[in-house]
Structure 1
Amino acid sequence: MRGDKRCFAPVVNSHTRLLILGSLPGDASLAAGQYYAYPHNKFWELLGAVIGVDLRALPYPARLESLLAHGVGLWDVIAQAERKGSLDAAIRNQKHNALLDLLGELPALRAVAFNGGTAAKIGRRQLKPCGGDLLLIDLPSSSPAHTLPFDAKAHAWSVLREALAR
């Protein structure tokens, strides 16, 4: 593919109880080789509030270790696509990740949360065969392009505490 952008490897282990799925890393994340690297994206603050850890203060490898220690995994619904810039609306010619295959490798998984509308639309379609066995949660995007105030996003993301307690 021309202008091809690819997702990162999943961050999961056998203790993952909650999997958070984004759409596809943005340009800042791809350049840094890190999930949610764009400084104005509120992902680390939102999830840190859920698990009670100041994730933004940690070096990136320690952030991922902290997520795994709390039963949280990360991945994206899109494996690769063409996209100019970082907006989901610009995604073209996408190929999806094999979500069902990954879920089959996660024995402790109880819930999947979608970070934004694009992730929810694609992910829910792929996970339909799971039926009601898995809690599916749609979250407002942590991206600054999604203009909901931070407090409203934090309130919506707080439901992840219950998902982790399942």
Structure 2
Amino acid sequence: MTLARSFPPIESPSARVLVLGSMPGVASLEVGQYYAHPRNAFWPIMGELFGAGPDLPYERRTERLAASGVAVWDVLRECRREGSLDTSIEVASEQPNDFGGFLARCRQIERIYFNGQKAETAFLRHAAPLLDKTTADKLTLARLPSTSPAHAGRSFAQKLAEWRRVAEGV
């Protein structure tokens, strides 16, 4: 198993929502960019919702999200995994990011949207129990369909319809 390490969040002190993945895939880790796989629907959806689509350079996309009140990060700081699939993550190796510190910096976040089931499961297992009660009580948590190309059970239009909740949350 290969040790995978995440990278810093896309954040802003004015962020009102946080979108969480589990761990960046191999393509993302290789270039140091969130959702870098060309068939991942994340950036096309962000383009529809916030004008932060894949036609823009990565830096401009992240600036647009931050300016729109959207933060992006991953639940896991590191884990062991072969390939990019969430199902390949070795659960015993999962180490969460510091959400207490992150939420202290981004105090306006009240909604967390999970990009798929693994992100939600890992957050509830590793991160949520470490949050202080005041912080935990103010958060609304919701799972959205994964934007991964491996999650082909829904069309782009169906995913976009559910992901509109992110725009409604800011």
TM-score, shorter chain, exceeding 0.5: yes
| Percent identity of equivalent pairs | 38
Give the letter for the 2:62 counterpart. L
2:70 to 58, 69, 72: 72
Matched, 1:162 2:163: no
Q: Within 1, Cα distance between the matches of 2:47 and 2:33? A: 16
Structure 1 residue 131 displacement after superposition: 4.0
Give 5+ residue unaligned stretches, structure 2: none
Structure 1 segment 73-152 matched on structure 2, within 5 A: 73-92=71-90, 93-125=93-125, 126-127=127-128, 129=133, 130-147=135-152, 148-152=154-158
Structure 1 segment 14-29 matched on structure 2, within 5 A: 14-29=13-28
2:10 paired residue number = 11
8 Å contact 2:78–2:94 — kept in the other structure?
Answer: yes
Give the letter for the 1:16 counterpart. A
Give the letter for the 1:45 counterpart. P
Secondary structure of 2:161's partner?
helix
Paired residues, what number?
Answer: 162
Give the letter for the 2:128 counterpart. L
Residues 17, 54 of structure 1: CA spacing in aligned structure 2 closer, same or farther, 3 A cutoff?
A: closer
Q: Within 2, Cα distance between the matches of 1:76 and 1:60? A: 17
Secondary structure of 1:55's partner?
coil
Most deviating of 76-85 and 53-62: 53-62
Structure 1 residue 127 displacement after superposition: 2.7
1:58 paired residue number = 56
Structure 1 residue 40 displacement after superposition: 0.3
Q: Within 1, Cα distance between the matches of 2:94 and 2:107? A: 28
Structure 1 residue 143 displacement after superposition: 0.2
Give 5+ residue unaligned stretches, structure 1: none
Q: Within 1, Cα distance between the matches of 2:136 and 2:116? A: 21
Q: Within 2, Cα distance between the matches of 1:95 and 1:131? A: 19
